[in-house]
Chain A
Amino acid sequence: MTKPTFDEFLSQEVSKAQQQQDLPEPQRPLWQGIDKAINAQSDTVHINEAAKGNGVWRQMSALAAATCVGMCVMYFSLSIPEQNNMVQMSQYFEQQKQILLVQYGNQPALTNDWQVQLQELEEAEQAIKLALENDTQNAALLQMLAQVYQQQLDLIERVHQPRWQKI
């Protein structure tokens, strides 16, 4: 059987999509989370009250982190054309990471293996930096590096700051 032309394929497939045929299924059950969210208004109020009671430190930390990220973004965006992006990014994210690690130093983490995860991300960071040494302005590599840095910060924040309202 011959392969349909691209236009035939596209027309058939778009028509199927519009008729909601061959739809993918989510990989995890979604209903429980939705049910919980729509029934949890009173619980949410309660949790928010509790969080207000002991969350001053967390709020201060988050504010400091957000301010720091904002400053990094401003500094980096203003100086992108002239300087070495990788070096700038590395310096500022390293500072940001250290600030977070110090801030959360005395707080218990939600998982035990977060440092292993952090180490894996740091290894990825090193591999990307190595590649960037030969191609300092490679946008794709810079994007990957930024993502790895962002993942590190997200990881540190996530394991120390439970998201009360996540479904």
Chain B
Amino acid sequence: MLVDAIHPCDELEQLVKRTQQGDQAAFAALYEQCHRRVYALCLRLLADQAHAEDASQEVFVQLWHKISQFDGKSKFTTWLHSVTSNIAISYLRKHKNWLQKVVSFENSGMDEAGIALCGDLNGLDKLVLRLPERARLVFVLHGVEGYRHEEIAEMLGMAVGSSKSQYHRAKKLLQEWYEND
């Protein structure tokens, strides 16, 4: 899994501890430090700006209620990314319309107009958001977040082989778009 630290770890740890004790000011500061990474991950997974914003809110509301479950054995940001991924995936399931559930239609990726509405995106995000749903989910979880295909298969309810093939599909599409850009 991804290990990273853009913010001083000590400060973040302090904010987490204070939030665990019910300090709302600390939680607000934690939000300030982490909301962009949460939103970025939601946006990459959901490929919809409004849904990514709603899911980010859901992440922080659940974080407030569940932060006591964080035991400090892993980095807080690693745990936060894991919570965010799970919430975004379940958000995606909840918001599938009935036809998608019945006949397994796959959502295509975001179109150029939608991407433009998301504001300043880096080169990779602009391409990732265009990917079809399953390829996008696998690419983000494996290629960016560092999950193993076995973990992804369990999270998304697909075979390990499907996860691997979706990853290759994603890379192929990204390469095609990058080279034609």
Contact = CB atoms under 8 A, between A and B. Distances in A.
Nearest to A77: B102
Size band of the interface chain A makes with B: 35 or more
B124 A143 contact: no
Interface in A71-102: 72-73, 76-77, 80
A150 B97 contact: yes
B36 A13 contact: no
Contacts of A143: 99-100, 105
Interface stretch (A33-41, A103-111, A124-132): A33-41
Contacts of A25: 36, 39, 119-120
Interface of A is mostly: helix
Contacts of A77: 102-103
A37 B102 CA distance: 33
A18 B143 CA distance: 10
Nearest to A32: B57
Contacts, number: 120
Contacts of B125: 17, 24
A24 B36 contact: yes
B103 to A, nearest CB: 7
A16 B143 CA distance: 12
Interface of B is mostly: helix
A15 B102 CA distance: 38
Contact of A24 (B102, B103, B120): B120
B57 A13 contact: no
A54 interface: no
Given A6-B178, A73-B102, A24 B6 contact: no
Interface residues of B, number: 50
Contact of A26 (B35, B121, B174, B179): B35
A27 interface: yes
Given A18-B144, A31-B31, A77-B102, A26 B39 contact: yes
Interface in B15-67: 24, 27-28, 31, 35-37, 39-40, 43, 49, 52-54, 56-58, 60-61, 64-65
Nearest to B176: A6
Nearest to A74: B102
Contacts of B54: 167
Contacts of B175: 6
16 contacts: A6-B175, A6-B179, A9-B123, A10-B171, A17-B40, A17-B124, A17-B144, A20-B37, A24-B120, A25-B36, A26-B56, A27-B49, A35-B24, A38-B64, A146-B97, A150-B99
Given A9-B124, A10-B124, A17-B125, 19 more contacts: A6-B175, A10-B143, A10-B171, A16-B124, A17-B124, A18-B146, A19-B4, A22-B120, A23-B39, A24-B119, A24-B121, A26-B35, A26-B36, A26-B53, A27-B119, A30-B60, A31-B28, A37-B61, A146-B99
